[in-house]
Structures are given as structure tokens and as C-alpha cells.
A and B are shown apart, each in its own frame.
Chain A
Amino acid sequence: MNKDILICGVGGQGTVLASRIIAAAAMAEGNIVHSAETIGMAQRGGPVTSHVRIGETAYSPLIPLGQADLIIGFEPSEVVRNLGYLKEDGLAVVNTTAVKPVTASLSDSGYDGKEMTDYLAQKVSCIFADGEKECQRLGSVKFLNILLLGIASGSGRLGLQKETILGEIEKRVPAKFREANLKAFLSGFEIGTKKEEDKEP
């Protein structure tokens, strides 16, 4: 299988766990996988990305522009920032809840993500989810990453078995959060499947 998946968001949102789970699941299904993450100074509230590349001929650790099959976006403006990576017929899974940078608060610039989601809706094929609302329902923002992973899986664009991903989640989350993460994944999966069906003509 050849697949390029880009995960983007803001430092501290849990993008790394999502990329590790996808990579592990892809390997469990017998693929060769490479990935790359943002680490260091930039992690502190800055934009972060993880590039997951599945397939034998993915030499560059970073996905070349226009080649990502799927973007999993933890924040709307970060999806816009990385849009150049998405294939013409690629899909973006987008959390509509904005993370406001301190600079925006200091200057009263009023960034709230709306402009970004409008832009995305116009330009690319997207599945939107209100991460804040969903996470409130799930009981914590800590489940945002697993929720978005569920949506991506439900959309069918990961090219990986749901069970494989669930198995990798179980290996990586502490036992006491297992139930909650399972719930987060399944509610995401439902959103993903449903939204993709809606799109069928």
C-alpha cells in the first residue's frame, strides 16, 4: 500500500500519539512506514505536523507537496497552512475548534477559525467535527486525538482496518482510560462513516 497522511495542529494537542498509532497500525498490517514529527522549540504553542508515509518508495521523510491522501487537522487554520500538501482528490478531517494564539488575544484580532472552515469547505473535500463539543460529551479534551483518528478511520481513507487501529490504541493508552478512548474512537468512526456516505451522490 502507498499512503501519505499528514497530521497537523498546535503543540500540545496530541498529534504525536495519533501519528504513532497510525504508523504502528500500518506496520502491523505488513507495510513499511516512515514518519517525521516536529520536536523542540517549535512545540511550545507553535504549529506542529507529523508526516506519516506508508509504502516502499517513500524515501523523503516529509510528504512532497500535493501528495497527501489525507490531512487530519487538529485546528482549522493549521489545515489551511498545510493545504498545499493535500492531493487534488484528498480528504481533510478538520476539528473546527480554533486554538487562539497569544498574539491574537493581545491584538484583539478576533481569530476564531470560522474564516478558515469556510475557506476549507469551499476548496477541498472535508469532514468537519466540532472537537470542543464532542470532547465535552466524552468528558475531556484529552480524547481529541483519538476522536479525530476515529473520523479518519471511518472515512475509509486511512486504508487500515478499524480493528488494527483499535488494537494499537489499546497498547498505548493507560488501562483506566481504555473505555473512554474506545468510546472516543467509535463516536469519531461514526462521524467519519456518516459524513463520507453523505457525500455519495
Chain B
Amino acid sequence: MKEYVMGNGAIALGALKAGVNVACGYPGTPSSEIIETLAKYPHEGLHLEWSVNEKAALEVAAAASYAGARALVTMKQVGLNVASDPLMSLAYVGVEGGLVVVSADDPGPISSQTEQDTRRFADFARIPVFDPSSPEEAFEMIQDAFACSEKYKTPVIFRPTTRVCHGYASVEAQERYQPKAFAGFQKDAGRFVIFPRLSYKNHGLIEKRNVRIGEDFSSYRYNTIEGEASEKAVLASGISYMYAKEFLKDHPKIRLLRIATAYPFPEDFAKKALSGVKEVLCLEELSPYLEEQLLKLAGKHALSLKVCGKLTGHVPHMGENSADSIAAILQEFLGIDAPKGGRKITDLPSLPVRPPVLCAGCPHRASFYAVKRAMAGQKTYYCGDIGCYTLGNSMPLDMVDTCLCMGAGVTMAQGFSHVDGEGKAFAFIGDSTFFASGITGVVNAVFNEADITICILDNSTTAMTGHQPHPGTGINMMGHDAGKISIEKILQGIGLEKIVTVDPLKLDEAIEAVKECASVRGVKAIIFRSPCIAIERSGKTCSIKDSCINCKACIRQTGCPALSLSDGKVTIDASLCTGCGLCAQVCPVHAIGGEGDE
């Protein structure tokens, strides 16, 4: 039976077909739907979890693999940074059952902090990487990745990019899946306990093995040659291959190579495919990885081959490619005058900008607003973190001074407190991020006597990535109620003396709590607790009464997208408003009421 699924769904179905026994991950766009899809399809016998972070996910999977099970680990590219500690060592130790780490790259970047290239990570760790260029391929290739991992007893990286993860296509879905049968863990300290001499020995073996894998990959079914022999050729990978194919369908004579296994580089394949070629253009996103491999190849074999791409200015270093950008680059490289291209757009009216904002009624807006009001006029440091609440940076809230990486808010606030005893340092961190990487930062603060106020924005979900459960919400991916882990108790356990829990939508109380915490020294925490509007719909709305003096304070102070001006008058869009009542508490003449008004 064929099903129309997202690329991430195709990866999940491919893994099920490969008999995956354990799947772990941490949510991150564009990878989150893999674990979610596994949960939706029949998966009896599969252990499925949202791990607390990517490092934990990989370690859980590693042990399962040592026992002979097939294990899948999913994350976005920055998650791989978190998982890099176990990954680097695991590369030396190797695996027993197939272990595939899906690390989804995000050229653009569309929803990420970095434009890093996971293929480089694979090279760095000396482990194979697969790079699909469509959802259909992803479905097939993830199965190949498991087979490769098991054959060579190495972890394997599978690297889709956003357009593959979020593209839709039809792939095969089965009524039921058979998890792989496996032998169980065989104790072998010489193999599974990493020691310097083991790493030394395995380092040599790994380099030898990688040559063999490169030879294997030279006949891999997704490393392909199309078109005729020509002096100018094109090498593409991932989604760029599809863009190139789209353009070259009208120019079938041009030779198009595609390399789906960037590392270990399929040298024989490339050498054969490029014989007779004088100039090759590399089309890839993120880093010029394949381009550099060709440069090495040309040097190693003294080929007279000109290699064009990012390093020669033919292709931009940053951002994602598109069908149109690739078409333009190819036209120039091949000297083709193409009739295609968009319609001529002239005298375009100026378009409204739409930066992403916190949703109407989002409790984070109220939390930020309470801190802003409480601290008005004082010197402050607002350290943000990764999640929906990064959007607290937008006007008019303007409440995020720094954002670096997951969990950094808590620790960066400490840095500011140590270099400036006067200013008040705040950390804003979401509930899921707190569990993922906030707790150790709080321990650090207490031990090193920082003076910070930690604001935990607890909306009882992992909102940004599509509302995944986490340790604070109780129900896990196996569908079991594991009990909610209490943030308050964790903080008490660490030794915080001041821990206040407030409902951010009760503005006065929230402001009071902030003032109270900011006025004492040491490590303090405020838990702003109110559910994400997307998981708990209130059904309420507020409206503007006739007594409105049109001062626009509500819009200017909250910036709620449900508030807007219509013919110069403030109105509330009832389809967006959740009746959170924040604007009503801001209005100086109490002109906002309605169902949200008690």
C-alpha cells in the first residue's frame, strides 16, 4: 500500500522496514516528524523515545546496538553537536546491530542557528554518510544505511536536508513490521571499553576499512551518471541534484553525476565518471565538500580537471539552492540561453514584512511583559534560549539580548552577573529546554555563586518543533504515564532558596514575583506556568468596548497579532484572540472585556 508522506515519514517507514528495534531522538526542525511517524504506524516491539537530549539519545541507541539491535537516532544538525561526544568515541568502538544517526541539515538556514554541514562531521568522525535527494530515495537509502552499518560494524550518518525532510511523496507502508531478531549483548571488554590503546588500534583499522567502503560506494546504486560524455560536466548531491535534473531535462546531452555517499568518497566512481571531462561544476548546499574531494582527486591522480563551485565563486557559499538559482548557475556555466524564467515583475507595491511572532494569546508574551514591566528603568541582561520564546526578541517586547544555543541562557546570565555586580541578569528558558540542557547550568550557578533570576517559561510542551512531550509532561512515546518530573523539586534539590510559581496571565501577581526575586541576591527561579495555546484552546475571546479611547497602548505594549487597526481604530480579530486577557490588563481605561473578563 502506498502512502503520501513527508520525507521524514519516508525515513521512518524505511527504518521500520529495516526492522529497527530502538528509535530515540530529540525534537528539532527539520527532523522531528521521524519519531512522530514511527509512533503513528504499527511498531510493536519497537522501543520509541523522545530522549532528554541528543547525547542521551545516541547513548541509549549505542547500547541497544551493542546488544545487536538496530537503532535509529534522530536530530537536527545542531543536535549533532550535542551528540558529538558519544559519536566521536562510538566511531572508534564501532557497533554490533546497525546504528544510523539521522542528522537533518537546514540550508538557509530556515529554522536553525547554523549552516553547518553534517557531511563534514561524518568525515571528521571517519564514518559513512548517506545523502538522499528525495523522500522516495530517503525511504530506500535509510535501509541501505542500516545494512552498511551492520556490514562494517560502524555507526552511519544519514543526512537529509530540509527540502527532503519536508517534501511529500508516496512510499510503501506495510500493515505490520517485523523488528529484527538479535542475539543480545556479548560481554567483551576489549571491544566495548574505550581505552587509549583500543583507539590507537582501531584508528588504523578504520582508515583501512574506509578505503573498502569507498570502493563499495563506487558501485552504490544512488551514485549515478546520466547524459553523454561531455567536456563540461555537472556534479550534484542532495536536493541540488533534483534542481539540476529539472533544468537538464531539456538538455539531456549534458553529463550529470550524482554522489549520494559523500564520505568515504567513491573515488573510482568519480574518476571513471569524469574521464574526458575538462571542467566540472559542483552543485551542493552548505559546504563545498564534494568540490574539495574532487580537488583532492585531481591532485592525487594528476588529472587535468578544472573544478568549479563555491570555491570559484560559481555557487554561493550560504543559503539554500533553488530550482531557479541552480538554473541560472547552469545556464552561465554551460553557456545556454534558456527561454524559461519567471514573468517580469514591475512596479511591485511595497510588501508588508511578516517576521515570525509569538502566537496571539501565547503565555510567553505575558511572561516577558511582566519582567519588562517589573524591571523598567533598571540595568538588565536578558539571556534567551532556543524555542518559541526566542521570538520574545521582536518588537515591542524586545526582551532577548542574547541567544546562543540550547541551554546557554542559564549559563550566560551567570557570566554577566560575574562581570557586572550592578545589572540584573535574567535567563529565559522553556520547560523542554530546561530538561534538555538547563539543569546542569543551574547547578553551575549555585556552586559558583551567581546572582541570576531564572525564568522558566513552562507551557507544558515542546512547542516550536510541533508539541512533543518531555519529562515534565508525563506521558512518554511508549504511551505510558511515567509521572511528571517536577521542575520545582529539581530546583529545590539543587538548593535554590527562592522558587516562585506564577500564572503569567495574572499580570499583577507576575510582576510582583519578578520584583521580589530580582531584589534578593543569589540564584532565584520563577516558573511562569501556563499551557501553550496550541495544546489547550480556551474557546474564549476578548473584545473592545465603546469606552476605548483609542490610545493604542494595548497594541504598542503587547504586540499581540490579534490586535490591529482597522480604519484607525483598535480591533480584536476574534478568530485569533484566545481571551488571554493580557491586553485587558494593559488598557488604562479597562476598555477590553468579554469572555476573558472575570
Q: Is the CB of A47 within 8 A of B163?
A: no
Q: Report the bound CA distance from A66 to B343 in whole Å.
A: 5
Q: Which residues of B contact A34 (CB under 8 A)?
A: 134-135, 167-169
B242 / chain A contacts, CB cutoff of 8 Å: 59-61
Cβ of B345 < 8 Å from any Cβ of A?
yes
| CB proximity to B under 8 Å, residues A92-133 | 100-106, 108-112, 115-116, 119
**Number of residue pairs spanning A and B whose beta carbons lie under 8 angstroms apart:** 158
* A106 pairs with B111, CB closer than 8 A: no
B322: chain A residues at CB < 8 Å are: 60, 62
Complex Cα–Cα for A156 and B485 (A): 55
Q: Is the CB of B30 within 8 A of A40?
A: yes
Neighbour of B357 across the interface among A57, A59, A102, CB < 8 A: A102
User: Does chain A have a CB within 8 A of B29?
Assistant: yes
Task: Knowing A83-B343, A115-B349, say if A62 contacts B163 (CB, 8 Å).
Answer: yes
Question: CB distance B342 to A36 under 8 Å?
Answer: no
Docked complex: B165-188 residues within 8 A CB-CB of A: 166-170
Within 8 A of A (CB), among B225-280: 239, 242-243, 245-246, 249
State A41–B30 Cα separation when bound (angstroms): 10
Q: How far is the CB of A150 from chain B (nearest CB, A)?
A: 19
Q: Is the interface of B mostly helix, strand, loop or mixed?
A: loop
Q: Is A72 an interface residue (CB 8 A)?
A: no
B391 at the interface (CB under 8 A from A): yes
Chain B residues within an 8 Å CB radius of A80: 348-349, 351
Contact code string A60-100 (vs B, CB < 8 Å = 1, else 0): 11111111000000000100110111111000000000001
Which one of B110, B345, B348, B555 contacts A40 once the chains associate, using CB atoms below 8 Å?
B110
> How large, as a class, is the contact surface on chain B?
35 or more
CB pair B358 A44 closer than 8 Å: yes
A81–B351 touching, CB < 8 Å = yes
Write the nearest CB–CB distance from A52 to chain B, whole angstroms. Answer: 9
| B354 in contact with A23 (CB, 8 Å) | no
Per-residue interface assignment for chain B, residues 471 to 512, with 1 indicating a CB less than 8 Å from any chain A CB and 0 otherwise: 000000000000000000000000000000000000000000
Q: Bound state CA distance, A47 and B242, in angstroms? A: 25
Q: Give which listed residue, A44, A46, A47, A85, contacts B342 with CB less than 8 A.
A: A85
A191 cross-chain contacts in B, Cβ below 8 A: none
Most buried by B among A36, A59, A83, A104: A59
| A33 in contact (CB, < 8 A) | yes
Cβ A77 vs Cβ B352 within 8 A = yes
Q: Which residues of A contact B465 (CB under 8 A)?
A: 40
Q: How far is the CA of A73 from the CA of B576 in the complex (A)?
A: 19
| A161 part of interface (Cβ distance < 8 Å) | no
Q: Once bound together, how far apart are the Cα atoms of A80 and B357, in whole Å?
A: 22
A35 in the interface, Cβ–Cβ < 8 Å?
A: yes
**Which residue on B lies nearest to A83, using beta carbons?**
B345
Report whether B327 and A39 are in contact in the complex, using a CB–CB cutoff of 8 Å.
no
Query: For A106, what are the chain B residues with a Cβ–Cβ distance below 8 Å?
Result: 395-396, 555-556, 559
Q: Decide if B561 is an interface residue (CB 8 Å cutoff).
A: yes
B163 — which chain A residues lie within 8 A by C-beta?
36, 61-62
| Structural contact, B356 and A44, CB atoms closer than 8 A | yes
Known: A23-B4, A33-B170, A86-B343. A105 touches B564 (CB 8 A): yes
Determine if B295 is an interface residue (Cβ-Cβ < 8 Å): no
The A-contacting residues of B in range 137-179, CB under 8 angstroms, are 163, 166-170
Given A23-B4, A41-B111, A100-B564, verify A111-B355 contact (CB < 8 Å). Answer: no
Number of residues in A with C-beta < 8 Å to the partner?
A: 59
Pairwise interchain contact A77-B351, C-beta atoms closer than 8 A: yes
**Interface pair A63/B110, CB less than 8 Å apart:** no
- For residue B563, CB closer than 8 A to chain A, the reply is yes
Contact with A along B323-364 (1 / 0, CB 8 A): 110010000000000001111010011011111111100000
Chain A residues lying within 8 Å of B396, measured Cβ to Cβ, are 106
* A101 contacts across to B, CB distance below 8 A: 352-355, 357, 561
For A36, list chain B residues within 8 Å (CB).
163, 166-168
Contacts of B312 in A (CB 8 A): none
Q: Which A residues touch B135, using CB under 8 A?
A: 34
- The reply on A37 being an interface residue by CB < 8 A is yes
Decide: A105 near B354, CB < 8 A? Known: A35-B167, A42-B111: no
Residues from chain A with a CB closer than 8 A to the CB of B245 are 59-60
Interface flag for A180 (CB, 8 Å): no
> B340 and A37: CB pair below 8 A?
no
B residues near A43, Cβ cutoff 8 Å: 356
Q: Which residue of B lies closest to A111 (CB)?
A: B352
Check A41–B575 contact: CB distance below 8 A.
no
Could you tell me the distance between the alpha carbons of A103 and B356 in the complex, rounded to whole angstroms?
11
Q: Does B565 contact A (CB under 8 A)?
A: yes
Asked if A160 lies at the interface with its beta carbon under 8 angstroms from chain B, I say no
- What B residues does A41 contact at CB under 8 A? 29, 110-111, 356, 464
B388 at the binding interface (Cβ < 8 Å): yes
Kindly list chain A residues whose C-beta atoms are within 8 Å of the C-beta of B111: 39-42
Across the two chains, which residue of chain B brings its CB closest to A19? Answer: B168
Residues from chain A with Cβ under 8 Å of B564 in the complex: 100, 104-105
Residues B323 and A62 in contact, CB atoms below 8 Å apart: yes
The residue of chain B having its C-beta at the shortest distance from the C-beta of A142 within the complex is B575
Given known A41-B29, A66-B342, contact A103–B355 (CB-CB < 8 A): yes
When distances are taken between beta carbons in the complex, the residues of chain B under 8 Å from A1 are: none
Chain B residues whose C-beta falls within 8 Å of the C-beta of A20 in the assembled complex = 4
Q: Which residue of B lies closest to A67 (CB)?
A: B340
Mark interface residues in B29-41 (1 if CB within 8 Å of A CB, else 0): 1100000000000
- Which residues does chain B contribute within 8 Å of A140, judged by CB atoms? 575
Instruction: Identify the closest chain A residue to B2 (Cβ).
Output: A27
A-side contacts of B556, CB under 8 Å: 106
Question: Which of A27, A34, A43, A67 has its CB near the most chain B CB atoms (within 10 A)?
Answer: A34
B324 touches A65 (CB 8 A): yes
Known: A100-B564, A103-B395. 8 other contacts (CB 8 A): A41-B111, A42-B111, A60-B245, A62-B322, A65-B342, A66-B342, A77-B352, A83-B343
A-B contact pairs, 14 of them (CB 8 A): A34-B134, A37-B166, A44-B388, A44-B391, A62-B323, A66-B340, A66-B342, A88-B343, A101-B352, A101-B354, A101-B357, A102-B561, A106-B396, A112-B566
